[in-house]
Amino acid sequence: MPFQPYRHSAGALRPSPLYRRYLSAQRRRRALIWLSRLAVLAAFLCLWEWAAREGWIDSMLTSKPSQLWTSFRELLVEGKLLKHTWTTTLETLVGIVVSMALGTVIAVVFWWSTFASKVLDPYMVVLNALPKVALGPIFYIWLGDRYSIYGMAVAISVIVTIMMVENGFKEIGRSKLKLMESFGATRTQMLRMVILPASIPNWIATLKVNVGLTLVGVIMGEFLSSKAGLGYLIIYGGQVFQMNMVMVSIAILAVLSIALYGLVNLLGAWLKRKNHFES
**For the ranges 30-39, 221-230, 260-269, which has the lowest average pLDDT?**
221-230
Residue 230 lies in a domain: yes
Same domain, 152 and 211: yes
Residue 58 lies in a domain: no
Report the candidate in 81, 68, 63 with the shortest Cα–Cα distance to residue 248. 68
Angle CA 45–46–52, to nearest 5: 90
Residue 45 lies in a domain: yes
Does an H or E element contain 15, and which? strand 12-15
Beta bridge partners of 13: 8
Last residue of a domain, one of 53, 73, 91: 53
Residue type, 25: A
Residue 99 lies in a domain: yes
Strand, helix or coil for residue 3 = coil
The residue ranking higher by pLDDT, 279 or 27, is: 27
pLDDT band at residue 52 under the 50/70/90 scheme: confident
Q: What is the mean pLDDT of the chain?
A: 81
Residue 1 lies in a domain: no
Same domain, 130 and 240: yes
User: CATH number for the domain including 98?
Assistant: 1.10.3720.10
Same domain, 133 and 174: yes
pLDDT for the residue numbered 175: 62
Same domain, 118 and 188: yes
Same domain, 49 and 67: no
Q: What is the DSSP string of 209-233?
A: HHHHHHHHHHHHHHHHH-SSSHHHH
Distance CA 211, CA 154 (A): 11
Tell me how crowded residue 71 is: count the other CB atoms within 10 A of its CB. Answer: 21
Same domain, 116 and 254: yes
Strand, helix or coil for residue 240 = coil
Same domain, 44 and 149: no
Report the candidate in 222, 225, 176 with the shortest Cα–Cα distance to residue 199. 176
The residue ranking higher by pLDDT, 162 or 180, is: 162
Specify the pTM.
Answer: 0.77
Q: Which residues form the domain of 22?
A: 6-53
What is the count of structural domains for the chain?
2
Distance CA 140, CA 150 (A): 10
Same domain, 68 and 27: no
Same domain, 101 and 220: yes
Same domain, 38 and 120: no
pLDDT band at residue 24 under the 50/70/90 scheme: confident
- What confidence tens digit (pLDDT) does each residue in 75-126 have? 788 777 888 889 899 999 999 999 999 999 998 888 888 888 888 888 888 8
Sign of CA dihedral 242, 248, 252, 254: positive
Say if residues 191 and 202 touch (Cβ distance below 8 Å).
Answer: no
Same domain, 161 and 221: yes
Mean pLDDT (whole number) for 206-231: 86
Residue type, 41: L
Same domain, 124 and 154: yes
